[in-house]
Amino acid sequence: MHHPEGRPQIVAHRGANLRRAEHTLGAYVQALDEGADALECDVRLSADGHLVCVHDRRVDRTTNSRGVVSTMTLAELNRLDAAYSKNPWAELDDEAEEVDSDHNRVLTLRRLCEVVRDYDRVVDLAIETKHPTRYGGLVERRLVQLLDEFGWAGGDSPARVMSFSGVALTRVQRLAPQLDIVLLIEGAVSWQVTRAMLRPGWIAGPGIDELRGRPRLGPRLLAAGHRIHVWTVNTRDDLDRALEVGAEAVITDDPATLHAMARG
């Protein structure tokens, strides 16, 4: 990953999702315009094997339809309005801002990789694989194959892979040993369990609530030699807490505000 001088890397959580619909191209373009250093996304496999940027198992919450992502083809997903949850009355709003329809479709990871590759400054990509899933390890295999197509499966990759699943991350490490790996940490598990899950060289990814509820967690992670990335950091207090534990990256819903705070 690239390291901004004097501050943590600002990572846009599902894009600039406070202002744009999460995981849409519009949300990621907005995040880049707001100065995000990196983009975060969740990925699932469609029924025909495409990696798509969708958080939930179902499309019900974020689109104008219903269904399970893994049972829908990319063509079916392409027909959905992925920005529906942000503005369900857009078609009836004569004063609504005109938006390119591509910015409101279900986004493929390939398209997001192209945006990162072609942008006019260095941008990192933090990719979370969602589990459990009907496709099991195929998600990680397809992900590494795609990253390899872009030349991003080695040690100089702008991409890193995150998951709450240690098994999934072990698959990634086996397929692409040089990629940065982030184990996301959530839930009231003991330090012994946390330490056992984190393999040597893995980055620790605690949620901000974990750092609040377990004040000894951050120092213990540092003492064990782990780099730290924190999610989801949206306030001054959150940022200060992340800085206290030496976080090198903070994932946020509001990259513009966090960028200003971190620089200040």
Convert the pLDDT of each residue in 178-187 to its tens digit: 999 999 999 8
Q: What is the mean pLDDT of the chain?
A: 93
Supply φ then ψ for residue 9, to 5 degrees.
Answer: -70, 130
What's the pLDDT at 263?
82
Convert the pLDDT of each residue in 131-140 to its tens digit: 888 888 999 9
What's the pLDDT at 76?
98
- Using DSSP bridges, classify how beta strands 180-185 and 203-206 pair: parallel, antiparallel or unpaired: parallel
What's the pLDDT at 92?
46
Q: What domains can you pick out in the chain, each with its CATH number?
A: 9-57+107-263 (3.20.20.190)
- 88 band by pLDDT with thresholds 50, 70 and 90: low
Q: What is the secondary structure of 85-134 as a DSSP string?
A: TT-TTGGG-TTSPP--GGGGSPPBHHHHHHHHHHSSS--EEEEEEPSS-T
Convert the pLDDT of each residue in 25-60 to its tens digit: 999 999 999 999 999 999 999 999 999 999 999 999
Nearest CA to 258 out of 24, 35, 20 is that of 35
What's the pLDDT at 91?
58
pLDDT at residue 81 greater than cutoff 50? yes
Mean pLDDT of 63-88: 94
Q: Distances from the Cα of 213 to the Cαs of 87, 91, 231, 253, in angstroms?
A: 35, 44, 14, 21
Q: What is the pTM of this model?
A: 0.94
Q: Which residues are catalytic?
A: 13, 55
Question: Between these two residues, 95 and 144, which has the higher pLDDT value?
Answer: 144
